[in-house]
């Protein structure tokens, strides 16, 4: 019988819940401590590439129950004239990579992960969740966290999944490394597919059919809308992106500002009347999000504590890899701690060191590749920066190769390979 480790996970977002699923699967005893009352999850959608979906499938996440919508392709159009810009990409991810790419409503994904983490039916013991309880300080060496109510909790392993404004990162680094404001802002809104199809003016916007994405860009490419379906194709998710000049900005990264229909119309100034008609169909305009990013960190663990997800590697949404990278972190920890029965500090540290060795370079390269948007050049511009984290042979030459670099990656296999190599090296020494 394995004696389980006690694990505290700080933060119950996509990363924290995923870590709970992976570590309960590895036989450990999990408690999630979450600052909010869980009513916080913003109602928009995410896309998940095969590198993430492969992991969700291994955990038994039911696509139908989570209302996943399969990605089928994307087309680009002029926002002023709706003219087809002829950069259509039709990718059958399932045929190419063995696993589909899907879109999920964030609330549906969050609920599905929460169920897998806490259900009585799953492997090991269900995770428990303590809500409305901010963690205010950490002691990585002793494995303790202090909560806002003054109480203290101890565990063999602390997983900090506290998001882009992570306080845990400050503790692990020993200095403050705040996320910074990027040029990208986004206003998101959702419209039922039926509402768009019922209006003869807007109906042609969905003519490519179920599962298809479209993007509508202004001539200078600094303003564009991304549209894609979610919740079984019954809802269309829109993101109105604006690239701003950062001179003299006093805004803070990752902050949500109030947005309304006027703000959206202003962002869409000069867009085709058909696109403007969409604004009036959105029941709710979600807040304007000032997208945050941060330079890659030099480390992501200390003592008994490890950073995952946005706490470790916040990135811009342009490659759709932020949530995926947090799911990969979780799966990596699940695999590393599968056979761990000792709670000795050296044992935990050696596993976290291996986690860092496998995850940090890849996540850092993903952050850099995410900096440029759909119309930019994510590959050649940052080549020198990428070479700090990837060997030249792994650098992508074009968008197709980058897609494959994300989609083919199997983090569990990478961890198994690294563990095998290290065992081999120890045996040989």
Ligand X SMILES: Cc1cc2nc3c(=O)[nH]c(=O)nc-3n(C[C@H](O)[C@H](O)[C@H](O)COP(=O)(O)OP(=O)(O)OC[C@H]3O[C@@H](n4cnc5c(N)ncnc54)[C@H](O)[C@@H]3O)c2cc1C
- Contacting residues toward ligand X, per CB under 6 A: 10-16, 33-36, 40, 46-48, 134-135, 161-163, 167, 186, 289, 291, 309-311, 317, 320-324, 326
Under a CB-based contact definition with an 8 Å cutoff, are residues 86 and 39 in contact? no
Q: Which is nearer to ligand X, 13 or 75 (CB)?
A: 13
Distance CA 41, CA 48 (A): 17
Q: Which is nearer to ligand X, 93 or 340 (CB)?
A: 93
Under a CB-based contact definition with an 8 Å cutoff, are residues 225 and 216 in contact? yes
Does the annotation mark 93 as catalytic?
A: no
State the nearest-atom distance from the C-beta of 6 to ligand X, in Å.
17
Distance CA 418, CA 4 (A): 23
Q: Which is nearer to ligand X, 71 or 340 (CB)?
A: 71
Residue 64: Cβ within 10 Å count:
7
Beta strands, E only, 248-349: 256-257, 285-293, 301-302, 305-307
Distance CA 68, CA 48 (A): 10
State the nearest-atom distance from the C-beta of 314 to ligand X, in Å.
7
Which DSSP string do the residues of 221-256 spell out, in sequence order?
SSEEEEEEEETTTTEEEEEEEEE---TT----TT-E
Structure tokens, 21: 């699923």
State the Cα angle at 275 between 273 and 281, rounded to 5°. 105
Q: How many residues belong to the chain?
A: 429
Q: Which is nearer to ligand X, 218 or 327 (CB)?
A: 327
Does the annotation mark 228 as catalytic?
A: yes
Q: Which is nearer to ligand X, 66 or 340 (CB)?
A: 66
Q: Which of 54, 101, 183, 188 is flagged as catalytic?
A: 188
Residue 344: Cβ within 10 Å count:
10
State the nearest-atom distance from the C-beta of 34 to ligand X, in Å.
5
Distance CA 62, CA 188 (A): 26
Q: Which of 93, 138, 228, 301 is flagged as catalytic?
A: 228
State the nearest-atom distance from the C-beta of 357 to ligand X, in Å.
20
Chain CA centroid to CA 40, Å: 16
Distance CA 66, CA 107 (A): 9
Chain CA centroid to CA 128, Å: 23
Q: Which is nearer to ligand X, 101 or 351 (CB)?
A: 101
Q: Which is nearer to ligand X, 162 or 403 (CB)?
A: 162
State the nearest-atom distance from the C-beta of 199 to ligand X, in Å.
26
Under a CB-based contact definition with an 8 Å cutoff, are residues 58 and 98 in contact? no
Nearest to 229 by CA among 105, 61, 318, 373: 105
Burial (CB count within 10 angstroms: exposed 0-12, middle 13-18, buried 19+), residue 354: middle
State the nearest-atom distance from the C-beta of 48 to ligand X, in Å.
6
State the nearest-atom distance from the C-beta of 293 to ligand X, in Å.
10
Distance CA 90, CA 71 (A): 9
Nearest to 410 by CA among 6, 58, 10, 46: 58
Q: Which is nearer to ligand X, 124 or 134 (CB)?
A: 134
State the nearest-atom distance from the C-beta of 308 to ligand X, in Å.
7
> Which residues are known catalytic residues?
188, 228
């Amino acid at each position: 019988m394995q004696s389980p480790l006690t694990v505290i996970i700080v933060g119950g977002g996509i990363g924290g819940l995923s870590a709970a699923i992976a570590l309960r699967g590895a036989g450990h005893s999990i408690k999630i401590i979450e600052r909010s009352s869980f009513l916080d999850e913003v109602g928009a959608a995410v896309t998940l590439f095969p590198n993430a979906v492969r992991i969700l499938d291994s955990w038994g996440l039911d696509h139908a129950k989570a209302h996943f919508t399969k990605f089928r392709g994307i087309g680009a159009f002029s926002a002023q004239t709706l003219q087809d810009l002829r950069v259509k990409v039709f990718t059958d991810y399932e045929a190419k990579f063995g696993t589909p790419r899907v879109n999920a409503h964030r609330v549906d994904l969050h609920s599905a992960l929460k169920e897998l983490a806490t259900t009585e039916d799953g492997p090991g013991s269900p995770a428990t969740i303590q809500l409305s309880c901010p963690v205010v300080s950490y002691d990585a060496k002793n494995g303790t966290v202090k909560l806002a109510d003054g109480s203290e909790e101890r565990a063999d392993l602390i997983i900090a999944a506290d998001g882009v404004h992570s306080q845990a990162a400050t503790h692990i680094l020993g200095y403050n490394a705040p996320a910074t404001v990027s040029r990208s802002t986004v206003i998101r809104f959702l419209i039922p597919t039926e509402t768009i199809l019922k209006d003869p003016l807007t109906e042609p916007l969905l003519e490519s059919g179920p599962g298809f994405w479209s993007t509508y860009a202004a001539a200078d490419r600094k303003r564009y809308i991304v549209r894609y379906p979610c919740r079984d194709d019954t809802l269309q998710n829109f993101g109105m992106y604006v690239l701003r000049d950062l001179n003299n900005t006093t805004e803070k990264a990752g902050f949500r500002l109030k947005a309304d229909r006027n703000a959206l119309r202003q962002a869409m100034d000069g867009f085709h009347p058909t696109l403007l008609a969409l604004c009036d169909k959105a029941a709710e305009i979600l807040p304007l999000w000032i997208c945050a990013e941060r330079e890659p960190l030099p480390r992501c663990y200390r003592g008994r504590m490890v950073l995952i997800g946005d706490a470790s590697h916040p990135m811009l949404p342009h490659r759709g890899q932020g949530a995926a990278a947090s799911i990969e972190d979780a799966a990596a920890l699940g695999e590393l701690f599968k056979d761990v029965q000792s709670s000795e500090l050296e044992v935990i540290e050696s596993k976290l060191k291996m986690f860092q060795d496998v995850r940090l370079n890849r996540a850092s390269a993903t952050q850099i590749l995410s900096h440029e948007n759909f119309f930019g050049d994510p590959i050649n511009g940052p080549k020198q920066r990428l070479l700090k984290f990837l060997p030249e042979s792994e650098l992508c030459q074009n968008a197709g190769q980058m897609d494959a670099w994300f989609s083919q990656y199997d983090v569990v296999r990478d961890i198994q390979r690294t563990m095998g190599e290290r065992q081999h090296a120890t045996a040989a020494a």
